[in-house]
């Protein structure tokens, strides 16, 4: 998720309001589910096709290189892929649109271009993503039945003790982190301002923070990944601290990456340095029944 609900109602410490905190977390949970179910959320993803330079026929017919499912026309068109991008050529008589306007031949800007371009065909829509010079087409179905039936999300009980005060220890200069992803051979390289230090149960721990959307972003693992939470780790955001270096990390708002719900995202996984040697029994759990597995 790129948009993150952040609020810190009540004071931290002696004036901490447990009831207000519980309401805040419950409100965040409702917001979280709403974001997942939105058209730009992650639940309606039904395909991710990695492309090498060449031509690819796409549609619902079995003879296509890329199968878009039964809701697509048998033969929609062709993707022509070069090192510089993805061109789409649509067959005559097939309704394909971009921003409500019919298109027949166009270069599709990748998500890294700064342009928000989504191509639609009936209930289907697709975008081009670029990761380290590699292009892929991500397919969505706005009438995907999985979205309507999805939920509720499972959570640990709210634990105020896992809303902790943390200190950002900045590096002398921001560093580029090297983080693995669920896609073999594809890395995630965010900028890191430093590490945050915090205590749980009187023991000190640290996590490397990443700078994302004006906030601190964490991809972390812990011992619950073995059987209660998503195996590759979970995500968490915190506010960038002021000059005192202090922020709040509320593990009750830790959540699963998109890959917990389908196989069509490029999720980062917790690096070895960001795997905590304890159980963080707060935040979102993993339920395999909430993972969409298309029939082949």
Residue 234 to residue 254: CA distance in whole angstroms: 6
Q: How many domains does the chain have?
A: 2
Domain boundary, last residue among 143, 172, 187: 143
66 and 24 belong to one structural domain: no
Question: What pLDDT is attached to residue 24?
Answer: 97
Closest CA to 166 of 193, 130, 137: 193
The answer for residues whose C-beta is within 8 angstroms of residue 250's C-beta and 6 or more apart is: 8, 25, 162, 163, 164, 236, 238
Q: Residue 6: inside a domain, yes or no? A: no
137 and 281 belong to one structural domain: no
191 and 71 belong to one structural domain: no
pLDDT tens series, the chain, 296 aa: 444 444 443 335 557 899 999 999 999 999 999 999 999 999 999 999 999 999 999 999 999 999 999 999 999 999 999 999 999 999 999 999 999 999 999 999 999 999 989 999 999 999 999 999 999 999 999 999 999 999 999 999 999 999 999 999 999 999 999 999 999 889 999 999 999 999 999 999 999 999 999 999 999 999 999 899 999 999 999 999 988 999 999 999 999 999 999 999 999 999 999 999 999 999 999 999 999 987 65
**Count of CB atoms within 10 A of residue 93's CB?**
6
CA separation, residue 119 to residues 1, 139, 266 (Å): 21, 10, 20
Closest CA to 292 of 66, 4, 36: 36
101 and 248 belong to one structural domain: no
Q: Residue 292: inside a domain, yes or no? A: no
51 SS3 class: strand
Question: What pLDDT is attached to residue 9?
Answer: 39
Closest CA to 51 of 90, 79, 88: 79
Say if residues 5 and 25 touch (Cβ distance below 8 Å).
no
Residue 235 to residue 287: CA distance in whole angstroms: 16
162 and 269 belong to one structural domain: yes
CB under 8 A, 24+ apart: contacts of 169-172: 169/194, 169/195, 169/196, 169/197, 169/206, 169/245, 170/194, 170/245
Say if residues 71 and 123 touch (Cβ distance below 8 Å).
yes
| This model's pTM is above 0.75 | yes
Q: Which domain holds residue 96?
A: 45-143
């Amino acid at each position: 998720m790129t948009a993150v609900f952040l609020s810190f109602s009540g004071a931290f410490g002696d004036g901490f309001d447990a009831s207000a905190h519980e309401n805040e977390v419950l409100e965040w949970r409702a917001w979280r589910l709403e974001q997942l179910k939105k058209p730009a959320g992650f639940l309606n993803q039904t395909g991710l096709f990695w492309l090498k330079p060449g031509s690819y026929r796409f549609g619902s017919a079995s003879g296509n290189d890329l199968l878009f499912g039964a809701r697509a026309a048998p033969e929609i068109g062709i993707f022509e892929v070069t090192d510089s991008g993805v061109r789409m050529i649509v067959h005559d008589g097939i309704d394909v649109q971009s921003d409500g306007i019919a298109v027949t031949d166009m270069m599709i800007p990748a998500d890294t271009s700064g342009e928000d371009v989504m191509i639609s065909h009936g209930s289907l829509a697709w975008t081009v993503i670029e990761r380290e010079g590699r292009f892929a087409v991500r397919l969505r179905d706005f009438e995907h039945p999985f979205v309507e039936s999805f939920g509720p999300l499972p959570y640990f009980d709210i634990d105020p003790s896992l809303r902790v005060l943390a200190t950002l220890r900045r590096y002398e200069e921001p560093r580029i982190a090297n983080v693995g992803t669920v896609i073999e051979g594809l890395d995630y390289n965010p900028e890191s301002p430093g590490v945050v230090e915090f205590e749980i149960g009187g023991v000190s721990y640290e996590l490397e923070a990443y700078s994302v959307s004006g906030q601190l972003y964490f991809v972390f693992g812990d011992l619950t990944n073995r059987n209660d939470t998503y195996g590759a780790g979970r995500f968490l955001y915190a506010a960038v601290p002021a000059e005192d270096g202090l922020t709040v990390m509320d593990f009750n708002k830790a959540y699963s990456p998109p890959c917990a719900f389908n196989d069509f995202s490029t999720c980062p996984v917790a690096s070895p340095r960001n795997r905590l040697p304890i159980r963080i029994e707060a935040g979102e759990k993993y339920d395999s029944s909430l993972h969409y597995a298309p029939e082949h």
